[in-house]
């Protein structure tokens, strides 16, 4: 366990429950069954939870695969002593191919140039190296388009030092049946093209968190959950409202974000609060100042909308969230004083605030809320 960072003037921190993370991993593995490998996605610093510690916990829980963005994230995990297979989901940049091989990272590829670079690097080392082919089935981002797939297959066949271990795609809307079925059909067509070139990858994968949760027909033998592992079932936003579109899995939020009150002041009727006086008191009020702001990742769109938890009660955010400070109205909460704990994300008593609630206020997704918690917020690992 890493030592805690001592906080004096800015008592703001995030608690990351490694036990909850492992619990969620086990739930997902049980959900998909022993015949399906779970690639635990820890890209973007494990969605803001801390990739090094989360990767260690996931590996200890039995994760044989971890998913990252590129070689820099893979290097960091290897430097942390991670031994699990690491999938580079967005491949590598030219010039990084030797690092890919030397650190035993498994890249996604989709262009002949990538294949050539890896073939040359593997030939220099006298090894046969595994790669995963990424196919664009409708997401419109990375991946080989269907019309270019034969040329990529020819490049793979002509590369004796490469082994096509996997074929993958990314679902753009796993919650929308029509879109998902179209991508599934395209992916199956891509596999048929591979087979026509004598390429039979052993790992076939397309399921993200949403598909892992509710679309068993996409599991194949390999799934790539991300948000689900951190305690949030994927949601579909329509018209500003959140609706559950897939059956639930009893995952637990892994991160709680906390701070402490540093000041409590009286505000008279008609007092403007914060930059721009966007909130004016309609009554004599008690206003608490929190040492957290948008530089810490507390989204400015929560100004005059969001809420926190103080002494087991909700306290509304009042005025504009500034870079380092946020004000909350504690008038209706008895006994509040400087030093009291405040929950920004998490549960306290019967009250709870989560990243889905923040996302709804900010017209975004919980992924962004979690990833935006900045590096100056120390992570304290428990369990």
Say if CB 13 and CB 379 are below 8 A apart.
yes
E strand or H helix at 162? strand 162-168
Long-range own/partner contacts, residues 118-122 (CB < 8 A, 24 or more apart): 118/159, 118/162, 119/159, 119/160, 119/161, 119/162, 121/97, 122/161, 122/162
> What pLDDT score does 175 carry?
66
Point out the residues of the chain with pLDDT beneath 70: 1-9, 174-177, 179, 235-247
pLDDT the model gives residue 243:
46
Find, among 312, 318, 301, the residue nearest to 267 by Cα: 318
Task: Please tell me the distance from the alpha carbon of residue 229 to that of residue 40, in angstroms, as a whole number.
Answer: 8
Buried b (16+ CB within 10 A) or exposed e, 358-379: bbbbbebbbbbbbbbbeeebbb
Measured CA to CA, the distance from residue 120 to residue 48 in angstroms comes to 36
Q: Which residues are registered as beta bridge partners of 379?
A: 14
- Is 249:210 a contact under the CB 8 Å cutoff? no
What's the token pair of residue 143?
């991946």
DSSP assignment letter at 247: -
Interior/surface letters 143-152, b for 16+ CB within 10 angstroms, e for the rest: bbebeebeeb
Among residues 43, 134, 184, 258, the one annotated as catalytic is 43
Selection from 306, 323, 316 nearest residue 362 by Cα: 306
Query: Rounded to an integer, what distance in angstroms lies between the CA atom of residue 329 and that of residue 232?
Result: 29
The whole-angstrom separation of Cα 107 and Cα 306 is: 41
Residues 6 or more apart in contact with residue 24 via CB below 8 angstroms: 228, 229, 230, 231, 251, 252, 254
Residue 195 DSSP label: H
Question: In the annotation, is 43 catalytic?
Answer: yes
**Candidate list 83, 200, 265, 275, residue with the active-site label:** 275
83 CB neighbour count, 10 Å cutoff? 10
pTM given for the model: 0.92
Q: What pLDDT is stored for residue 187 in this prediction?
A: 96
Q: How many Cβ atoms sit within 10 Å of the Cβ of residue 264?
A: 15
Q: Which residue has the tokens 């030939």?
A: 123
Between CA 233 and CA 213 the distance in angstroms is 8
Domains of the chain: 18-232 (3.20.20.10), 255-382 (2.40.37.10)
């Amino acid at each position: 366990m890493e030592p805690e960072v001592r906080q004096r003037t800015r008592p703001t921190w995030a608690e990351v429950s490694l036990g909850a993370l492992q619990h969620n991993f086990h739930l997902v593995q049980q959900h998909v069954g022993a015949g399906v490998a779970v690639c635990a996605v820890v890209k973007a610093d494990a969605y803001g939870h801390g990739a090094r510690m989360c990767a260690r916990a996931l590996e200890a829980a039995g994760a044989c695969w971890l998913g990252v963005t590129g070689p820099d994230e893979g290097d960091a995990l290897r430097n942390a002593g991670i031994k699990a297979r690491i999938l580079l989901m967005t491949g590598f940049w030219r010039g990084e191919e030797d690092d890919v091989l030397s650190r035993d990272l498994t890249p996604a590829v989709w262009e002949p140039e990538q294949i050539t670079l890896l073939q040359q690097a593997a030939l220099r080392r006298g090894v046969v190296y595994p790669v995963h082919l990424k196919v664009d089935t409708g997401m419109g981002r990375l991946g080989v388009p269907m019309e270019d797939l034969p040329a990529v297959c020819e490049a793979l066949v002509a590369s004796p030092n490469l082994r096509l271990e996997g074929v993958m795609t990314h679902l753009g809307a796993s919650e929308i049946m029509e879109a998902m079925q179209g991508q599934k059909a395209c992916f199956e067509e891509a596999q048929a093209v591979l087979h026509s070139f004598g390429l039979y990858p052993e790992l076939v994968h397309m399921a993200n968190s949403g598909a892992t949760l509710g679309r068993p027909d996409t599991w194949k033998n390999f799934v790539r959950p991300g948000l689900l592992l951190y305690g949030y079932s994927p949601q579909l936003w329509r018209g500003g409202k959140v609706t559950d579109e897939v059956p639930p899995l009893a995952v637990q939020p892994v991160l709680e974000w906390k701070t402490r009150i540093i000041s409590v002041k009286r505000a008279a009727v008609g007092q403007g609060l914060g930059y721009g006086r966007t909130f004016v008191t309609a009554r004599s009020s008690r206003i608490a100042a929190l040492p957290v702001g948008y530089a810490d990742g507390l989204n400015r769109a929560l100004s005059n909308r969001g809420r926190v938890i103080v002494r087991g009660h909700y306290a509304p955010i009042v005025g504009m969230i500034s870079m380092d400070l946020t004000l909350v109205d504690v008038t209706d909460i008895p006994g509040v004083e400087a030093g009291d704990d405040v929950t920004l994300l998490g549960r306290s008593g019967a009250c709870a605030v989560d990243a889905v609630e923040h996302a709804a206020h900010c017209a975004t997704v919980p992924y962004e809320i979690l990833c935006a918690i900045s590096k100056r917020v120390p992570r304290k690992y428990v369990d």
